[in-house]
Chains A and B, each alone.
Chain A
Amino acid sequence: MNRYPLWKNVFVAIVILIGLIYTVPNFFGESPAVQITPAKSTTKLDSALLGQVESVFQQENIAYDGVYLDARGVKARFANTDTQIRAKDVLQARLGSDYTVALNLLSRSPDWLRSVGAKPMYLGLDLRGGVHFLLQVDMKAALSKAAERFVGDFRIALRKERISYVGVSREGETVQINFNDEAELIKAKAIIGKEYPNLTLTESSNGSERVLKASLNLVEQKRIQDFAIKQNIQTLHNRINELGVAEPIIQQQGADRVVVQLPGVQDTAKAKDILGRTATLEIRLVDEDKTDAATLEKAANGQAPLGDDVFKDRDGQPVLVKKSVALTGDYITDAGPGVDSQSGRNTVNVTLDARGARIFQQVTRENVGKRLAILLIEKGSTEVITAPTINEEIGGGRVQISGMANTQEATDISLLLRAGALAAPMDIIEERTVGPSMGQDNINRGIHSTLWGFAAIAVMMMVYYMAFGAVSVAALAINLLLLVAILSMLQATLTLPGLAAIALALGMAIDANVLINERVREELRNGNTPQASIHAGYDRAWDTILDSNVTTLIAGLALFMFGTGPIKGFAVVHVLGILTSMFSAVLVSRAMVNFMYGYRRKLSQLSIGQIFRA
């Protein structure tokens, strides 16, 4: 009776085998590698790149251990870090700015393991070193910015329909349009209401003027906020790509937060700088009507006349520009440094998308002979880079911005413009940095805790329960194997609290075996035959094991649901550990006991330690 049917034995064997296969990659370690990813999503990723990389290595005499193509890019492994760094430099120079080359680590596991998808566990930042940021998106600013865009849109719409209005302005998140005439307001309301159904329109009076106020309704607000966070995430992706970080994680958390994890990044100051930059370009008209001395005098002191803003240009001279924005950086598709062929000065060459090109063409057509100010807004301060006079209508969406101090600045500004603007400013509200040596220390600490604890438990169990103790220890080892295998399979992030959870899972899992062994002893003590005692011991212990694991599982799930960061990492491993322990402590240990005793006809004694008989 203490024999498993064949299928059950086979099942246990297969599970253990799978566990072994998926655990093994963790033992091969990692070797230095470089990762080549296309800088733009439009660049094709195929085996041509693979060939290109290989030929670069051959030409430059760089010894590599292997080159692989996967969904994200091409990865190449090297024997040591010196070769890795040389390869990175060479590749970056040869491939140009279309590709991002980043340093990485790649598992040394053999190809056949890779082909079945067996990878080592995915280590969290506290184990591999790196930075973790939690960024808060300023949604109020996103809404104001959206309202600002409506100001321009309304002006164009009203002008097109030849509706006369006094002015369009923004106050917080509402846009108000002033009219002299009720009839014009009604016409405008009909048009705006039709074109922008997501705006709530209210009428009021201000003195002799009639005022139409447009505010964003909840649906539109939500849409803008969703868009803002998506746009910010996209921008962060672009910027981090420029940083050259392998395997960055950029995720939305909640409605208005973004988690950024940069494994291996040590220069946190630079990372923060790049993440936090909110450079954006605005093109506005210079107010040519107000150039009298008194106004300029006032402007120099920072007082701008109504409808204008005053900013300083590179020479420190105040420039009066109109409040309404002709064009924003959102329309930019590409930007690169260049040199003006006539003057030899450094420039940034900007390409606009179709809509941006159309707007720019219209603005330049309507304002020939006037000056156009190009503003760079960075970290809240605005600077007029250049304010050239429009000589003719500019079509085609290609704009050359002169006025760069040197090549470096031209490169920096084009990088910022190319990487896109943030839809709303962001603040870092949480930061966790772990140095690389600390990461390795943490791994060692976790592994030492687990192994020494395991060894001590093994000795005690075997002394106390003899052969049954050995079976329990073997079951515990298989529990560890399965837990590591599942973590490797799921590629769940393993953190130091996660390592602690592995240790704790083992410490708790032994409970099931202790329960079983004690039960078997008790059955023997009550005078049952060895075979009957094994059977009854496992049978009766099962109910208790199930009950006690369910309560632990409840705790684990609550931790998972409410925990963040380190707690979540702990909870995942904790819950998985409970599940694997139920399998190994009951099924696997029973299978082993069955092999040991189940086939003996005459069994007079079990090796389970001394049995005290009453």
Chain B
Amino acid sequence: MELFRIKNDIPFMSYGRLTTAISLITFVLAVVFLVTRGLNFGVDFTGGTIMEVNYPQAANLESVRKAVDSIGLKEATVQNFGSSHDVLIRLPVKAGVSVSQLSEQVKTALVTADPKAEVRRVESVGAQVGDELYENGGLALFFVSLGIVLYLWLRFEWRFAVAAIIANMHDVVIILGFFAFFQWEFNLTVLAAILAVLGYSVNESVVVFDRVRENFRKMRKASVVQVIDNAITRTMSRTIITHTMTQTMVGSMLLFGGEVLHNFALALTIGILFGIYSSVLVACPIAMWLGVNRANLIGDVEKKEDASKAGKKTDVAEPHPSDFA
């Protein structure tokens, strides 16, 4: 089977205005949601307690609420999740009560109300720890970006590095925008997903950039726009197939992963979908506008490399530039 039978290069770069407009609009929307609604931070970052309680029968939320209220926790939220047998209780940090005492109090209250209640999971994080995790999360994001920029700079060129990181930060902001808009809980595993997406969708830009560099060597007479269009078209099949495969795995996680992996898989899904688009259709125009061209990408080494390549790979027929026209 072959899905992509593209005879001529698709003039992606001429859509530059359109793709940029789309990106800008989604980006601005994401920022607006982030500012107006904010992220719904989980206990990992804010401190507080989450308890997952299972009942053999359908849980009576009213009585659970009453039990929690009885120890003076009015701000607690009690809700079903997964099935009617499972209840999720969220408690904020309470001044003067240590996190471990709080969870023990709630546990006692729940078991008193219904002896069949089984507390299946407790996560309590003190406010101080929450702040640190927040800080470390920010640091991790910063160092991932820095590392990627440095590597792309060394391996390619600063224009590519800047273009790739802008495209990918745009993805991150959009993922965050989704989480803000839907008020999905943002916890440590979501952060891990976002950082993984960052590394993953940079792959995408790298694959295209690799092709662009290769094309600059081969297609000597082609313009920069032609070179980029050809690179995107030639790698499109791989882009779509790879992302479909990765998304299949992530979709499986979304289906079977349960509560803990749900938001993790959601963040990955958004990241992958926007990653396809942005790492190609955002990164390339930016690189172009920053002035990527044959000279600054291949530079003086061009002749030497070509000579060594020709010597080594006589067995491989070099495609003639006209093949790509």
Contact = CB atoms under 8 A, between A and B. Distances in A.
Given A563-B192, A570-B192, A500 B264 contact: yes
A315 interface: no
A547 B252 CA distance: 28
Interface residues of A, number: 90
Interface of A: prevailing SS? helix
Contact-residue size bin, chain B (C-beta under 8 Å from the other chain): 35 or more
A586 to B, nearest CB: 15
A527 B268 CA distance: 39
Nearest to A519: B238
B215 interface: no
Contact of A504 (B121, B124, B147, B268): B268
Interface of B: 1-3, 5, 7, 52, 54, 98-100, 103-104, 107, 118-126, 128-129, 133, 136-137, 139-140, 143-144, 147-148, 151-152, 155, 188-189, 191-192, 195-196, 198-200, 202-204, 206-207, 210, 214, 234-235, 237-238, 241-242, 244-253, 255-258, 260-261, 264-265, 268, 313, 315-317, 319, 323
Given A430-B125, A438-B52, A551-B199, A272 B188 contact: no
Interface stretch (A6-14, A151-159, A528-536): A528-536
B308 to A, nearest CB: 14
Interface in A445-463: 445-446, 448-450, 452-454, 456-457, 460-461, 463
B257 to A, nearest CB: 5
A552 B200 contact: yes
B8 to A, nearest CB: 9
Contact of A559 (B54, B104, B107, B195): B195
A441 B258 contact: yes
Nearest to B147: A554
A550 interface: yes
A276 to B, nearest CB: 8
Given A441-B258, A554-B148, A566-B188, A526 B249 contact: no
A522 B256 contact: no
A435 B207 CA distance: 45
Given A526-B323, A565-B188, A429 B128 contact: yes
A269 B252 CA distance: 37
Nearest to B52: A438
B251 A514 contact: no
B140 A460 contact: no
B198 A555 contact: yes
Nearest to B259: A445
A356 to B, nearest CB: 33
A457 B151 contact: no
B99 A555 contact: no
B1 A610 contact: yes
A434 B50 CA distance: 12
Contacts of A552: 196, 199-200, 202-203
Nearest to B139: A562
B269 to A, nearest CB: 11
A614 B7 contact: yes
Interface of B: prevailing SS? helix
A-B pairs, 4 with minimum CB distance: A555-B199, A507-B249, A453-B252, A429-B126
A288 B250 CA distance: 76
A612 B260 contact: no
Nearest to A131: B122
Given A547-B210, A566-B189, 12 more contacts: A429-B126, A431-B99, A445-B261, A453-B248, A464-B1, A500-B189, A503-B250, A511-B242, A532-B316, A547-B206, A558-B147, A574-B196
B56 to A, nearest CB: 12
A501 to B, nearest CB: 8
Nearest to B199: A555
Contacts of B268: 504
Contact of A511 (B133, B195, B246): B246
A308 to B, nearest CB: 31
A518 B133 CA distance: 42
B256 A434 contact: no
A510 interface: yes
A84 B15 CA distance: 70
Nearest to B142: A558
A463 B2 CA distance: 10
B136 A564 contact: yes
Given A1-B315, A457-B248, A563-B140, A547 B155 contact: yes
Given A453-B252, A511-B245, A430 B140 contact: no
Contact of B133 (A456, A460, A544, A564): A564
A257 B100 CA distance: 16
A511 B199 CA distance: 13
B140 A134 contact: no
A506 B249 contact: yes
A457 B147 contact: no
